[in-house]
Amino acid sequence: MLEYINHQLTVEGIPLEEITKGRPTPFYLYSWRQIERNIERIESVFEGLNYHISFAAKANNNLHLIKGLKDLGVGIDVVSLGEFYSAKRVGYNPHNVIVNGNGKSLDFLREMLVYQPRALNIDSWEELERLVELAEAEKKEITVALRVNPDVDPITHPYISTGLKKSKFGMDLDMAKKLIGIYYKHPYIKIEGLHLHIGSQILKVSPYEDAYSKVDNFIKGLEEHQLTFMNIGGGWGIDYYKDGNEFPLEEYKKKVIPILKQMNMEIILELGRFIVGNAGMLVGQVEYIKKTPHKTFVVTDASMADLIRPSLYNSYHHIYPQFNQGQEKEFDIVGPICETGDRFAEGRSLKSPMPGDYIVIADTGAYGRVMSSNYNFSLRSAEYLVKDQEVVEIRPREDFEEITSYFK
């Protein structure tokens, strides 16, 4: 997707210089062909299984991308009322909507009783009690899955680890068994599946082997309680470092798929980052090359308000200068926000950029624009999509009047 042709950076063969004409930076840019490739890779892993892919909308909430995924036959996983409304807005059939989250309000649950999604994932005993009370009062049935926490270390950043017993998400297997025993034959609450999601940006197969093996044994011990589907979450990592270290699909296919097959249930996935992460990039422009006795800074117009992952997680994103010629030097790449933490990289070796050059921060299709903010009264950036060799705007840049319209 990104490559240098005659020393100039191109996206899907289109020169970056051409893409940036008339488009103020910073902005997000996505490749539809890369999204399609990612879907094809997922399908190759699960070939032969009864499975259904859902897109985790929290990774990227652009309605044009969500609509495009719907048209490819991909379902959607939502974790809030806002994400639920976005699924409705683009025309999702309720049967292709999975509802998740650990803090569902009364209004949220009431809406689900009316909407009837494919499954409502229940996070706790307390949440199930709330749903039971509502369902009994309104005399409405609903299909649910219990989110179980198998106490498995996903070997990832602690902020995106969700499968350990100290996590705020899910319930232990003993609690799940107890709830199934109590509510399995309830007239309105149809417990038909289990859900687990152990974390994000996982690069090893062993945590999935451990988690699914535990759940497989749990299912076998349910005896007369027959479940029909297993929601295995997502979490597959991508190659941020560009060193070939991404989630090992072939190893997963060899070691994990046999565990899922023996469950003999429909398998539901909730992948976000793996579908859109490497299909997106943040394009910025160099404002200054600031030299001090201690460091040299590349100061860009992109900031932590556009992409917070490096500041929040100390995460790595590969950075491509517009030109790959000239002397390579070590730089700190920073933004204009009034925070020391507003930086994308420290001590990064780059071919020397110049003021006015563009840079691309790669692999920002997931948890990029969706986590942006108006801090320092920044305006959230525009988004563009490269599809069929054309660049189209799929969300405009905010303007000052728009975000201050509440002040009369």
pLDDT tens-digit profile of 91-132? Answer: 999 999 999 999 999 999 999 999 999 999 999 999 999 999
Domain shared by 121 and 249, yes or no: yes
| Residues 284-338 pLDDT 10s | 999 999 999 999 999 999 999 999 999 999 999 999 999 999 899 999 999 999 9
Domain shared by 224 and 321, yes or no: no
| Per-residue pLDDT band at 392 (split at 50, 70, 90) | very high
Tokens representing 95? 């049967």
pLDDT of residue 345: 98
Is 284 labeled as ligand-binding? no
| Mean pLDDT, residues 158-169 taken together | 59
In a domain, 144, yes or no: yes
Give burial (CB, 10 Å; 0-12/13-18/19+) of 222.
middle
Q: What is the Cα gyration radius of the chain?
A: 23
In a domain, 231, yes or no: yes
Number of folded domains that form the chain: 2
Judged against a pLDDT cut of 80, whether residue 228 lies above it is answered with: yes
Range 204-207 contact pairs with CB under 8 angstroms and sequence separation of 24 or more: 204/155, 204/248, 205/248, 205/251, 205/252, 205/255, 205/256, 207/152, 207/153, 207/154, 207/155, 207/163
| Mean pLDDT, residues 249-264 taken together | 96
| 252 contacts 205 by C-beta, under 8 angstroms | yes
Domain that includes residue 240, residue range: 93-271
Q: Return the number of other C-beta atoms located less than 10 Å from residue 286's C-beta.
A: 21
**What residue type is 383 in one-letter code?**
E
Is 271 labeled as ligand-binding? yes
Does the annotation mark 317 as catalytic? no
| Mean pLDDT, residues 143-153 taken together | 90
338, 340, 347, 388: the active-site residue: 338
Would you call 406 helix, strand, or coil by DSSP?
A: coil
| Mean pLDDT, residues 164-183 taken together | 87
Domain shared by 147 and 204, yes or no: yes
Domain shared by 213 and 243, yes or no: yes
Domain shared by 311 and 368, yes or no: yes
Judged against a pLDDT cut of 60, whether residue 18 lies above it is answered with: yes
Alpha-carbon torsion (176, 177, 183, 188), positive or negative: positive
| Residues 284-295 pLDDT 10s | 999 999 999 999
Please tell me the distance from the alpha carbon of residue 100 to that of residue 88, in angstroms, as a whole number. 16
Judged against a pLDDT cut of 70, whether residue 160 lies above it is answered with: no
What rounded mean pLDDT belongs to the chain? Answer: 95
Question: 157-161, 364-368, 387-391: which range is least confident on average?
Answer: 157-161
CA-based nearest residue to 28, from 330, 380, 383, 391 = 383
Is 339 labeled as ligand-binding? yes
pLDDT of residue 128: 98
Domain shared by 130 and 188, yes or no: yes
Is 273 labeled as ligand-binding? yes
pLDDT of residue 159: 46
| Domain termination residue (choose one: 271, 287, 311) | 271
| 98 contacts 54 by C-beta, under 8 angstroms | yes
Q: Rounded to 5 degrees, what angle do the CA atoms 345, 350, 351 make? A: 155
